[in-house]
Amino acid sequence: MKAKDTATARTLPIVAQGKITTATVSVRNFYDATHEALQMAIIAGHDGMGNIIREKSLNRPALALTGYFKHFAHNHLQVFGAGEMAYLGDLDTARQISIMEQIMARKIPGIVIARGLDLPEPLSSVAARFKVPVLRSRLDSNNLIPEATIRLEQLFAPRTNLHATLVDVRGIGVLIQGASGVGKSECALALIERGHSLVADDYVQIELLGDHGLRGTPKDLSRGYLECRGIGIINVGSIYGALSVLPRKDINLVVTFVFWREGMEEERTGIEQHTVEILGQHLPNVILPVRPGRDMARLVEVAAMTHSLRQKGMDPAREFNERILRHLNPATPLTTDAPRTQQNTPTY
């Protein structure tokens, strides 16, 4: 085994992927996804639940309540907290109606009232006339706004789908990709038998959650099912128990299965670290040639554990490489550089 001082460029395999999309989010979508967590109910403007929310943050109307609409963020959901409702309460009914008509005429998607406060009856009629839904949350505005913003970011998250299998290996989300028939599902089955968990088989829905990275989920229809060639479709939870299936998992590592062929170049030291780009996020990618006799599940398991060590600052490949260099030249200083990472990576 030779020590390496430079990395060699390699062409990485392509992931079979779908289109990158961003969801269109209606007030109904927002309500259905959040009404339990935000303790919300619909109190007016039911006919406007199909209104489209065009921004993933919320707005407090503030100066708009005084009739000043310059820079008014009308594309956002509007939050009425204790201050806004108290101000409206101090106005006479005619002024309340006039202000709310001016706000709703700007085609706001909807209103969320915090603290479980009541909406004056005349304003319910205005909301119905302009088809602007009014939701009421029991949370105060300080808790409502950050929680609702997180939920909106999830709903607006860019997403794609990949022909791959996603498993949880000791807390590491491992996306196994490769050509059809290369053995992704069989590997996942072997990992499940060793106590790990299946998230999605064959088709993985992936969304970008801001600073939280990538999260993978299965199709609702196929959740908990796995295709085993020669046997057919199996229900993983029924055979291995409820803990063998997870509804979602953050993706930390990609493992690419490729068919082995005579003379192909294989990674021997682990110093070179390739990456794959999915939805703008770079993920480490381990390429494993598949051939008879190889325990692919064990290799995926070790790849996940090695990734976990690297996340903690321990890199056995770099450490061993340095040992060889110091053996050949005792004067060689210790390096603190991270392993070289292949940068010309495919984008998905």
Of 83, 186, 100, 199, the closest CA to residue 141 belongs to: 83
User: CA 161 → CA 56, 166, 199, 201, 212, distances in Å?
Assistant: 22, 12, 14, 12, 18
- The CA-based dihedral angle spanning residues 281, 286, 289, 291, taken in that order and rounded to the nearest 10 degrees: -110
Query: Which pLDDT band holds residue 11 (cuts at 50, 70, 90)?
Result: very low
32: Cβ contacts below 8 Å, ≥ 6 apart: none
CA-CA-CA-CA torsion sign (204, 214, 296, 239): negative
Map the chain to HEC letters: CCCCCCCCCCCCCCCCECCCEECCEEHHHHHHHHCCCCCEEEEECHHHCCCEECCCCEECCHHHHHCCCCCCCCCCEEEECHHHHHHHHCCCHHHHHHHHHHHHCCCCCCEEECCCCCCCHHHHHHHHHHCCCEEEECCCHHHHHHHHHHHHHHHHCEEEEECEEEEEECCEEEEEEECCCCCHHHHHHHHHHCCCEEEECCCEEEEECHHHCEEEECCCCCCCEEEECCCEEEEHHHHHCHHHECCCEECCEEEEEEECCCCCCCCCCCCCEEEEEECCEEEEEEEEEECCCCCHHHHHHHHHHHHHHHHCCCCHHHHHHHHHHHHHCCCCCCCCCCCCECCCCCEC
- Taking a C-beta distance cutoff of 8 angstroms, is the pair 198, 236 a contact? yes
pLDDT at 9: 36
pLDDT at 241: 94
Q: What average pLDDT does this structure show over 60-67?
A: 94
Structural domains of the chain, ranges and CATH numbers in brackets: 24-156 (3.40.1390.20), 159-328 (3.40.50.300)
pLDDT at 125: 94
CA angle 94, 96, 98 (to 5 degrees): 70
Rounded to an integer, what distance in angstroms lies between the CA atom of residue 60 and that of residue 108?
A: 12
Q: Residues with catalytic annotation? A: 163, 184, 202, 268
165: Cβ contacts below 8 Å, ≥ 6 apart: 175, 176, 177, 184, 185, 187, 188, 198, 200, 201, 202, 204
pLDDT at 348: 53
- Looking at the chain, the whole-number percentage of residues with pLDDT higher than 70 is 88
Mean pLDDT of the chain, nearest integer:
87
- Tens-digit pLDDT profile for residues 298-344: 999 999 999 998 888 887 777 777 787 787 887 766 664 444 444 44
- Tens-digit pLDDT profile for residues 170-195: 999 999 999 988 999 999 999 999 99
Rounded to an integer, what distance in angstroms lies between the CA atom of residue 159 and that of residue 247?
A: 17
pLDDT at 105: 96
Q: How far is CA 312 from the centre of its chain?
A: 23
- Taking a C-beta distance cutoff of 8 angstroms, is the pair 165, 197 a contact? no
